[in-house]
Amino acid sequence: MSTSDTTSTTAQLPDHFSDRLEALEERIEDLEAELEHKDDRIDDLEADRDRLDERTATLEARVDDLEDETARLEKATDAALNKASTNKERVAELQSRELEKGAHLREETVDEHVVEVPDGRLERVTKDDGKTYFRLPESADPLDRGETSLAYGDLLPIQQLARMDDEMRRSAANTVPTRLAAKLWQARTDDSVGDNPWENGCREIDEYVKASDLKHWIRRQEVGISESYAKKLVSRVIDAMLDLSKHRVAVRKRTERKNGLEYTERRLVLPTDAAIPGETGGEA
């Protein structure tokens, strides 16, 4: 039906029908516009839904990855804890042995509730370095120094003998050269001995003793022995020193000049790089 027909038809209708028809036509146009708007809104919502679906899928994949990583880290953590526990047990065992041998160990390095010592007794001592150490009750410091934490068993044999008094040394060492070697070492490290034949070296030599000076020193220690016997003892004392120091000391020959004449003399030397427990040179 054409517009002219509609207009004609409308014109033929009573006025109240005509108004009603126009209102319905306007309402239809409004509903069609609203429907079109809702269709656009639905399209937008469906697009948002698709984006959310993609985001959800991405996050779910990320969660799966994180759960796998968490499981891996938990396994690694358990393994690390087991290893740490094993290492702690080993450290505690080693510390227990060292303490039983007379070691003084820094307080912060020792778990007093884990180490096993006789009667479970440990005591704290503060040394002249201002730090606190654990030790067995009344356990003397192996080197008799405030700053050391070495166990007696870690010392060189020459150091162990040097720490003994004359009576103990006589019981422990059954030969004169061994006792003299121990006293010679003690003279090097203990100023209270007084009679010290060691001289300061230079470059690669820390200290040394000339064989001739050693001979005179021996005669001062062993009163009444002849010069010829003292000369024999020099070689024996040097051999004992080499053995008891585990060859930390060495023998060097040096050309000397006296009264215009040259001669070669042996020297017992302590190299600057010698590994002496408790001293600058290093550990045993």
d(CA 111, CA 157): 31
Q: Which two tokens stand for residue 215?
A: 């001979």
The 132-135 sheet, strands edge to edge? 105-106, 132-135, 123-126
Residue 187 Cα distances to 20, 49, 182, 192, 278, angstroms: 132, 92, 9, 8, 16
Arithmetic mean of pLDDT over the chain = 81
Q: What is the pLDDT of residue 238?
A: 93
Q: Mind giving me the DSSP string for 226-260?
A: -HHHHHHHHHHHHHHHHHHTTTSSEEEEEEEEETT
Q: What is the pLDDT of residue 86?
A: 82
d(CA 46, CA 257): 108
Residue that terminates a domain, selected from 90, 112, 147:
90
41 and 63, same domain (yes or no): yes
CB 204 within 8 A of CB 271: yes
d(CA 212, CA 234): 9
Is residue 53 in a domain? Answer: yes
pLDDT 10s digits, 245-277: 999 999 998 877 776 677 788 999 999 888 887
The residue range of the domain holding 38 is 3-90
Q: Does the pLDDT at position 195 exceed 60? A: yes
pLDDT 10s digits, 77-135: 888 888 878 888 888 888 888 888 777 888 888 888 888 887 777 777 777 677 788 88
229 and 186, same domain (yes or no): yes
Q: Is the pTM of this model over 0.75?
A: no
171 and 259, same domain (yes or no): yes
